[in-house]
Amino acid sequence: MDGLRALGPGQEIVTPAFGEASLDELARVHDPAHLARLEAFCAEGGGDIDADTYATADSWSAARRAAGAGLAALQTLEQRGEGIAFVPVRPPGHHATRDRAMGFCLVNNVAVAAASRTALGERVLIVDWDVHHGNGTQDIFWDDPAVLYVSTHQHPLYPGTGRPDEVGGAAAAGLTLNIPLPPGATGDVVRAALDEEARASIEAFEPDWVLVSCGFDAHRDDPLSNLRLSSGDFAELACIVREFAPRPGRLALFLEGGYEAAALAASVEATLGALLGRPGAASTPTEGGPGLAQLRVDGTARRRAVDTALGRAGA
C-alpha cells in the first residue's frame, strides 16, 4: 500500500465493496472436503498445516475475503469497462491446489477469480511472474481448455514443479506453459520469456481476461530467491502483459509473494505506475544474467511435449 500511495493517483482509485467468497465460488476450484477441513481446522484454533503454512482462528474468514476481493475486482472492471485492478490481499494463493493448502496459501485467489469467468464461457490467461512456480494454479487448470497458464519461475526452488515438459492434460495440451529460470537471471531473460517464448501461444489463445499472479519475490533484494530483477523490470513486464489484454478493463493483478518491504513497495509503485502512465522512480531494468540460451532449449522441449500430449489425445 505504500507503493500505491507513492503514485498519488487521488480520485482515480476505486475501492469496491467486497465480502467473503461463497462456498460455491470456492468449490469451482477446490474440493469441498478440503474447504470443510480448512474451516474446521481454523474453527478449532488453527496451527501448523505444514512446515511453511499455518492458520489461525481468523484465517478461514481472511482467506474467503481475499478470494472475495478478487471476484469484486473483476466485477468492477466489467461494470466500468475500463481501468486495471490490483488485488493486494493476504493470504496469497497460487500454491493452493484443488485439495491442499501449502506454501503460505490457503485458497487460490487467482484461480477462484479465473473460474468465475470461465463459468460464463470466457477464456482466461493467467501470467504468473512470482519467483516460485504456481503449482496450485497449474494443478487446478491442468485439463481446462478455457485457461492458459504461463509461469516464469526460478528453478530449482520451492515447490520443485514447473518443468518445461509440464504442458497440460489431454484436453488442454499446450495450455500450461512453464518457463523455468536459473539463479541469477535478470529482467531481460524474464521479458524474453513472455515477449518471445509465450507471446505466440497467448495470441493464438485469444483471452477474454488477463490475470497476473504478480509476486515480487524475484526482486534482487528479496531473501527467498536468487533472481536479480529490479523494480524497473516489473514495470516493463507489466507493459508486456498489458498488451495481451483484449481491451481496457480486462487486466487484474493479484499480489502473491514479496518478502522485503522496501523492494515490495518499490515494485508495486513501478508496476502500477507503468500501467497508469506514471513511471515514477523505477530502478533501471536489469540485463546480462544467465538463462537466455536455455529459453530456446526449453522451448524445444516444451513443443515436443505438446506434440506428444496431442498424439496421445488423438490415439
Residue type, 109: N
Residues tagged active-site: 95
Of 278, 306, 279, 296, the residue nearest 197 (C-alpha): 296
What secondary structure letter does DSSP report for 178? E
CB 197 within 8 A of CB 294: no
Q: What is the chain's length? A: 315
SS (H, E, C) 83-141: CCEEECCCCCCCCCCCCCCECCECCCHHHHHHHHHHCCCCCEEEEECCCCCCHHHHHHH
CB 135 within 8 A of CB 95: yes
Cα distance between residue 113 and residue 21, in whole Å: 10
In whole angstroms, what separates CA 282 from the centre of its chain? 22
Cα distance between residue 261 and residue 5, in whole Å: 14
Query: What separation in angstroms does the CA of 117 have from each of 65, 121, 172?
Result: 18, 7, 17
Cα distance between residue 305 and residue 312, in whole Å: 11
Q: Between β-strands 54-55 and 251-254, what pairing exists: parallel, antiparallel or unpaired?
A: unpaired
Of 284, 253, 286, the residue nearest 271 (C-alpha): 253
Cα distance between residue 165 and residue 106, in whole Å: 27
Residue 18, φ and ψ in degrees, nearest 5? -150, 160
Cα distance between residue 187 and residue 238, in whole Å: 12
